[in-house]
Amino acid sequence: MDAEFFRRWLTATARAVEREAGRLTELDSAIGDADHGANLRRGFQAVTEALAARDPQEPDTPGAVLTLAGRTLVSKVGGASGPLYGTLLRRTGKALGDAPEVSDAELRAALEEGVRAVGVLGKSEAGDKTMLDALFPAVAALAESYPAAGDAAARGAEATIPLRARRGRASYLGERSVGHEDPGAASSALLFATLAEVAGDVR
C-alpha cells in the first residue's frame, strides 16, 4: 500500500463522516453534547484540504500522509475527538516510518501502536464505553482480513450500547449512559469500514 492508498482511505472516511454526521450527532445528543458529527465533519474536511494542498517537496509516503492528517485533526477539531483521532492517525503514521510502501502486517502493527496511544492519552481501557471498544477488536481482527476488521469495529460499537460510560462526558450520566451506542465508537467503526472498502477496491 502506497501513499495514494492512504489518501483514498482518508477521503473515503471524510465522505463517510459527511454522510453519517447527523447520526453521530444524534448519538452524541443522547449521552454527550450533540456535536460529534459536526466536529468530525469539520476535521475530515480539513484533512481532505490539507492532503490536497500537500507540499510537493515533502516525501510522499503512507507515514507522511497519516501524520499530516493527524496533525490537522489536532489543530482543527478541538474537543476530545480532535486530540484522540489526531493521536491515532499521527502515531500510526509515525510507526509506519518513511517507507514508500507498507505491508498489511506493518499497517496492523502501526495501528496497534496508534490505538495504544489513544488509550494512554484518554486514560481509558476496553469496556469504558469509548472509541477503544471499536478500535481494539478492529485491530485484532486485522490479522484475519480488512472486512473482518470492519465488521469487528461495527460489532464493537454496537456492544457499547449496554455499557456504562466511565470516561468522557458520558461518564457523568452514570447508569443513564446505558442503552446508548457510544458516538466515538460509532465513528471509529466508520474508519474501519472505509479501510475495508478501500482495501477491497485494491484487491
Query: For binding to other proteins (CB under 8 A), which residues are involved?
Result: 25, 29, 32-35, 38-39, 42, 74-84, 121-122, 164, 166-169, 171-174, 176
| C-beta closer to other proteins: residue 61 or 124 | 124
The neighbour count for residue 6, using CB atoms within 10 Å, is 27
| Min separation Cβ 35 and other proteins, Å | 6
| C-beta closer to other proteins: residue 148 or 178 | 178
Alpha-carbon distances of 150 from 31, 193, 197, rounded to whole Å: 24, 5, 9
| Min separation Cβ 122 and other proteins, Å | 7
| Min separation Cβ 130 and other proteins, Å | 10
| C-beta closer to other proteins: residue 11 or 29 | 29
Burial 19-41 (b: 16+ CB within 10 A, else e): ebbebbbebbebbbeebbbebbb
| C-beta closer to other proteins: residue 109 or 161 | 161
CA distance 125 to 117: 11
Cα 146 to chain centroid, rounded: 15
The stretches of 77-182 forming alpha helices (DSSP H) are 81-96, 104-122, 132-141, 146-158
| Min separation Cβ 82 and other proteins, Å | 6
